[in-house]
Amino acid sequence: MSASHVRQWCVRTLVAAVAAAATACGSSSSPSGSPLIAPTPTPSINLAGSWAGTLGKTSDSKPIQVTWSATQSGNSVTGPASLVVTNVDNNGNSTTFPVAGTMAATITGSDAAITLTLPPGSFTSIGGPATCSVTGTGTASSPSVSAISAALNIVFDPSCVGTVADHPSETDNLALNKS
């Protein structure tokens, strides 16, 4: 083989190798021809399960009792939440009322952004107007598989103020343990 043939063979081989590499780099398929799929990141913590605890100020003698049945898909955790509100009248008599809503958490790293939603009509059993709704948001820093703790900023619909709540918003402590 002459030097010119060797040079042509080397050039052709190099061109073919570069073309093959460029095709492979620009491809969105694996060698088998199926599309490449990025793996779904595993959440840093599993919060699925049954939870029970309280919502209220540390000074509350009768904090609101909370249960949450959480299901998890990836970093999203959702489920029904039940609250038991204790109402004490002027004579010191107490009555408990169930309130149903939902709670959700979005896990990001080692934190969980929590949202508690009590829809309109949730408080009619305790004398609240049908339009009264409540939303609570906060972040649980480093929740564990057995305990969640967060300060929730609770915002009351204006129709709640004066019947269900004294103020349009407040900050309450949420403390849940896996049951």
Mean pLDDT value across residues 39-53: 83
Instruction: Look at the alpha carbons of 27, 30, 35, 39 in this order and tell me if their dihedral is positive or negative.
Output: negative
- Domain definitions of the chain by residue range: 1-38, 49-178
Mean pLDDT value across residues 126-140: 95
Instruction: Look at the alpha carbons of 11, 13, 14, 15 in this order and tell me if their dihedral is positive or negative.
Output: positive
Mean pLDDT value across residues 70-76: 97
pLDDT computed for residue 14 by the predictor: 42
How many percent of the chain have pLDDT more than 70? 76
Q: 49-178, what's its fold?
A: Lipocalin (2.40.128)
Compare 37 and 77 and report the one with higher pLDDT. 77
| Strand, coil or helix: 125 | helix
Lowest mean pLDDT among 11-15, 46-50, 132-136, 175-179: 11-15
Instruction: Give the span between the Cα atoms of 42 and 175, in whole angstroms.
Output: 25
Statement: residue 161 has pLDDT above 90 = yes
Statement: residue 169 has pLDDT above 50 = yes
pTM, two decimal places: 0.75
What is the pLDDT of the chain when averaged over all its residues?
84
β partners of residue 178: 51
pLDDT range class, residue 19, cuts 50, 70, 90: very low
Asked whether 53 and 176 are in contact (CB, 8 A), the reply is yes
